[in-house]
Structure 1
Amino acid sequence: MQIAAKDVQVDYSAADGTLFRALGPVTMTVESGTFVALLGPSGCGKSTLIRALAGLEPVSGGELRIDGRGINGPSVKVGVMFQDANLMPWRTVSQNVALPLELRHADLEKRAVAVKRVLEPLGLAEFGDVYPGQLSGGMAQRVALGRVLVQEPEVLLLDEPFGALDALNREKISLDLLRIWAQRRQTVLMVTHDVNEAVLLSDRVFVMSQRPGHIIADIPVDLERPRSPEMIYEASFVAIAREVRSAIDTA
């Protein structure tokens, strides 16, 4: 499913009633089945754009479309993951992952099959009966990712999903995500502040300006897949990372 934004703006009201622009205008296209990373200065509107695409934030101007259709609210075809895992502590790993299916009134057998299919590639098959309080931060984020993937969305909107993790756990779960994406080929738009992560995972990197953010660079990542962490030392990888860094420095 294609993601398209044309002259999108989001304005907020200040305490004194005046309007200030948080985002835009943003014009961009994320082609169906591609993985795109979004970088930019803090406060430039990256999270606002993700929320608008998820149907959680109204736009003040312009047009957002997913699969050619306007966005009027959340959709089961669009999965969203934020930095905070937001797991329910009284539910087990399996029960947390199954929650979206439960809310859609899927029967127990269907839920069980779907949860098992998601937990195995995330390395959580043995932790289905464990509660969130017994999990490390990295494992909790895996559960949160599983809760999104169990819905089999056609679009993934990821807002700095691994930003709170240490470098090693961040790399591991990023590679898990990449492996799962390679099998399913959803359309992915992922916010990150990590240049190497952006280049390692994505087909293209968008860089946004200072607030109100707009796209100032669209950088293709012409690296072979599958990707591996060792690629970050290759000259072709370093050249793309430098281009991304240069664009951020001028934002």
Structure 2
Amino acid sequence: VTKFAFSMKFGSTYEAVVETEKDGTEQSIPGRPTLNKVLGLFELTMIGVSGSIGAGVFVLSGVAASRYAGPAVTLSYFLAGLCSTLFCVSYAEMASMIQASGGAYSYASAAFGRFLGWLVGWSLVAEYTFTVAAVSSCWSSAVVDLVSMTGNSFPPLVSTAPISFSDKSELTTTGSIFNLPAVLLISACAGVVILGTRATSCVTTTILLIKLLTLLLFVAFGAAHTRADNWSPFIPEIGR
């Protein structure tokens, strides 16, 4: 019923984007690649949870707690989780109405036309580009620090990004040519994606299990060192 109402509201735009067989699979249209359904409920759940538990929980939690929110960082995570839940519900509803590959691009194209879909598609490309750059740089700095603990080091010319932000949020040059650890990480991830959807799903699930185990171990060992006086004030005054 929802799908019928959606098609009645948006008409030919919807039909142009959503061309499906009765079983929900996309038609084999000349000139358009087709995708096989190889992901089940478990794989999709793992991919979704892995996307929610990203690098930020490891990189930014301490910064947010020490510089800004204090103990109230727990409320920050609660609000972020609430927003993520609303976001996921919206995506799930759109996916049930528009059974076509393309994600947000297909949804925007079906609802608002090809031009809006084009804008959404390229906005996502820009978002993923900046996200990959930021996450790989953070991962690279952690790897460089870990290697330095062993008494070894990366050459300065390939250990950091050529341009970085200073403490005053100003762009500064680092003297490096390129970030070798970040390039290796991106290349490895690209190689996994090239192997196919199944391989990507397996690697994503493995990484998610490692992240969950790391968080559980952190909570388990950190709980023994909890100090009640650190929770006061719960919401610190900003600027002091």
Flag whether TM exceeds 0.5 (same fold): no
Q: What range describes the TM-score normalised by the shorter chain of this pair?
A: under 0.3
Higher normalized helix content (fraction of residues)? 2
TM-score normalised by the chain length of structure 2: 0.22
The structure with the largest alpha-carbon Rg is 2
Higher normalized strand content (fraction of residues)? 1
TM-score normalised by the chain length of structure 1: 0.21
Higher relative contact order (CA 8 A, sep 6+): 1
